[in-house]
Structure 1
């Protein structure tokens, strides 16, 4: 009886741990890796061609040099900064706005 209860509890714990791990959001690097991998697969690249493609894709060398890929945080910073400039905010008002804007989710 005790063994059955112990096995049930352990399997439930393992199940909850795997469900929790699946819900974690991916970092920008992980998102880029996933995207590049899917693109390479859709192009049916193999061997050295795939390695070269993945390397170029992860370095984002396919874009023009002046077009840097921004992280989500950098994009949010750019949007908040632009909005603060449009509203002509300066000093403490700008700092408060930027802080509130960057804390917003979504």
Structure 2
């Protein structure tokens, strides 16, 4: 390489070095915290991967895993409604009507 080209290459390299070494002029904002649904999705994905599930098995597992909290909420509601009906001493049709109303979250009409 002729000295002229070598000097030009060194000069260009020297100009580019400070830009490479300098930290960025801004800091990236921290990622927002995952939502409850995103956290649940991450957990369910990890469990499916651990189980080596694929295809339809994985799809069924994910559906069940992601809807688990809905089932838990319904079970908790059932428990509360049963306790309330018991406190009121309701039996038979009166209890059925109370339970239907309590579980549907609709006011008596």
The TM-score, its normalising length taken from structure 1, stands at 0.43
Which gives a bigger RCO, structure 1 or 2 (Cα 8 Å, sep 6+)? Answer: 1
The TM-score, its normalising length taken from structure 2, stands at 0.43
Based on CA coordinates, which of the two structures has the bigger radius of gyration?
2
